[in-house]
Structure 1
Amino acid sequence: MKAPSSPPRSPATDEPGFTPATTLAELAKIAGVSIATVSRSLAGSKLIATATRERIVKLADEHGFQINVAARNFRLRKTGAIGVVLPLGHEAEQHLSDPFFMGLLGPLADALAERSHDLLLSRVIPTDDRWLSGIVDAGRVDGVIIIGQSNQIDTIETVARRYRNLVVWGAPIAGYDQITVGSDNVAGGRAAADHLLRQGRSRLAFFGNTEVPEFAARYAGFRDAIEAAHGDEGVLLPVHITQDASYSAIAEFLSTNPLPDGIVAASDVVAISALQVLAERGVKVPDGVSVVGYDDVLIARHTSPPLTTVRQDVVRGAQLLVDALFERIAGGEAASVAMEPEFVVRGSA
């Protein structure tokens, strides 16, 4: 039986006393070029002649040489990571498993991977106004994407004015410099209220915490539509966005107040809580009450009845966030974007 053959070895490694190069300087000396030429060749730079680049790459392979990426990034002041931060100043009980967060984080991770960057995720419960400074000044990331302004708009703005590499999923605020990407929340809130008004609904309520800029903008659109139709503002119930908190607040509200015939929720999670409370009280949706959500998370089409909602294009939004951030990292300028929301009619309204 013939013994298995060994893999071929290069002439260099066959030589007696062969010592592999372990630094760029040693490899450059062997190749007879500068350290910069070796570094650029191994990075695939087109500035180096193809023949030279291929020769150096082959030589590096023969020596088993690999660039220390961490050390190179340190020298270049690059980390290869982007921080994605969820500040939950208004919702300490909210978790990463929230359907909206899950729907946005996947496309964000994909868009960052296409830029050869990792996603470094942080869920922050702010206890002071230094939490964001600590993140951007730690040197662990090349830039930061913030998901939601929460009640931290001023803290975000303070850092955004000195740190370019920062973009925000949220609502544009007049007089603020931070670069934001999101849906046109005023238009979305108005579309939801207009839809209910066209159905003949007249006792409308908005369920959502207007301390959050995005939700405040949705309520502003809701209020504008009702004022134009009836001259009033409708009913506002400030509820927290988590399922348990919103369920409790809605149940208490419906126990002590007249039943509205139309509900616009600041998010699909709040709308789903409303559907649950109404079902437990024997109120038929949409016969007795119409319900509209916001976001169009995956579960929205599987509720009973399926949820009418305002869709945000999170896949496009994720790409816009990443594009804006890398434009800023490269020293360019980027503008805030308010995407047009899409109204999705299902069984709940």
Structure 2
Amino acid sequence: MSKHKPNERARPTMADVARELGVAKITVSRALSEQSTVKESTRALIRETAERMGYRLNVSARNLRQQRTRTIAVVIEMAPSHDRLMSEPYPLSLLGGIMQELTAAGQNMVLTTIDLFAAHPPSTDGVILLGQGVHDDAAAMIEATGLPYVVWGAAHGPPERIVVGSDNRDGGRLAADYLLGKQRTKLLFLGETQHGEVDDRLGGFEAALTGTGAAIVDRVACAFTVAAGREAVSKLLERGRGFDGIFAASDAIAMGAIEAVEAQGLSVPGDVSVVGFDDSPGASLFSPRLTSVRQDWATGGALLAQKVLDLVSGKRVESRAMPVELVARES
């Protein structure tokens, strides 16, 4: 009968090493992979601690990952819910561009969520992550796998991370310029700035208002849903807060905001002008038709696929921020 070594079934993990030293798991991963982003003294300490604890890198698993599978995982950071469907408008609008590019390159695509990827990682050559997560947590988790990866989002992480996204700061500026052109001076911002893209949208919006006489009178963090936008604006109006312009971090939030404004007997755009972000398929169908900052989803998807395939091939790759444009409608 074979005998197991003591503690063989409870072999220390990378998370255990991180906990022992009080550092992030991603720092341990980078140190054990000899990445220069971690200074040598820290790498040495982590290596020594890992050895002392009996942690061993799973070399066979890493080698298996390094064999080409001709498969790319597309990982969605968001979780579907009854009020935020996967089909409207993000991230499915990106998938057409990704799929077309991968198919042309003879690559398979595995579509999954961040939770499923963490629990049951597929065998894949690289990863496309759609959405960085709050405080970049999803991107950090993908980075810890050691696989080549690219992210749809904002360049808020380490400089070596490859990010494809829109020029969100310029989108914020365009929204401000539009509302200023409508003579709006008491402005409301709706969106969760713990997401890097939303933080950039607010940053561009604020910068464009400097010295104009207009001001942001309220900032409300809310999820990317119609319900969240409706609830946020309803509460402000019930408390008597006044505003004449709204910049929402997504079209869904903007639509909910409009519903709340009109439920109080006010009109859009008569009393309040509203700008969304995404130019989702529903923006032109909503009543009033929604003014929105347009992102080029199809090109973004193609770029994500091209860049991850270049990384897998060992080529030099750079991040890309794509231009945006404001589509003026009725709101």
**Is 1:172 the counterpart of 2:155 in the alignment?**
yes
Aligned-pair CA distance for 1:112: 1.7
Which runs of no fewer than 5 residues in structure 2 stay unpaired? 1-63
Which position in structure 1 is the counterpart of 2:168? 185
SS of match in other structure, 1:221: helix
Partner of 2:246 in structure 1?
263
Corresponding residue for residue 98 of structure 2:
108
Q: TM-score, normalised by structure 1?
A: 0.70
The 3 A distance-change label for structure 1 pair 172 and 205 is same
* Counterpart position of 1:294: 277
C-alpha distance in 2, partners of 1:92/1:178?
Answer: 33
Partner of 1:82: 72
User: 1:161, CA displacement in angstroms?
Assistant: 7.3
Residue number in structure 2 paired with 1:279:
262
Aligned to 1:333: 316
Give the alignment of 1:150-165 within 5 angstroms.
150-154=133-137, 156-157=139-140, 159-160=142-143, 163=146, 165=148
Asked whether the 8 Å contact 2:152–2:164 carries over to 1, the reply is: yes
1:314 corresponds to: 297
Show CA shifts across 1:219-265 (max 9, x none).
Answer: 11111112232374442111111222332222222211423111000
Gapped regions of structure 1 (runs ≥ 5):
1-73
Tell me, yes or no, if the aligned pair for 2:127 and 2:147 is still in contact at 8 Å: no
Equivalent position amino acid for 1:81 in 2: T
In structure 2, relative to structure 1, the CA distance for the partners of 1:242 and 1:80 (3 Å cut) is same
Contact kept in structure 2, 1:90 and 1:151, CA below 8 Å = no
Equivalent runs, 1:137-156 vs 2, <5 Å: 138=121, 140-154=123-137, 156=139
**Largest Rg, 1 or 2:** 1
Q: 1:124: how far off?
A: 2.9
Equivalent residue pairs, number:
268
- Superimposed CA distance per residue, residues 37-80 of structure 1 (whole angstroms, 9 cap, x where no aligned partner): xxxxxxxxxxxxxxxxxxxxxxxxxxxxxxxxxxxxx8982223
What residue number does 1:251 align with?
A: 234
Q: 1:98 aligns with which of 88, 100, 106?
A: 88
1:69 alignment partner in structure 2 = none
Q: Give the whole-Å Cα distance in 2 for the aligned partners of 1:120 and 1:145.
A: 10
- Report 1:40-55 matches (<5 A): none
Secondary structure at the residue paired with 1:299?
A: coil
Q: 1:207 aligns with which of 179, 182, 190?
A: 190
TM-score by length of 2: 0.74
Q: CA deviation at 1:93?
A: 6.9
Deviations 1:268-313 (A, max 9, x none): 1101111211222221111110000001111111111111110000
| Residue 154 of structure 1: how far off its partner (Å) | 4.6
Query: What code does the residue aligned with 1:118 have?
Result: N
Say which SS state the counterpart of residue 331 (structure 1) adopts. coil
The verdict on how the C-alpha distance between 1:100 and 1:75 changes in structure 2, with shifts beyond 3 A counting, is: closer
- Alignment match of 1:223 (pick from 200, 206, 226): 206
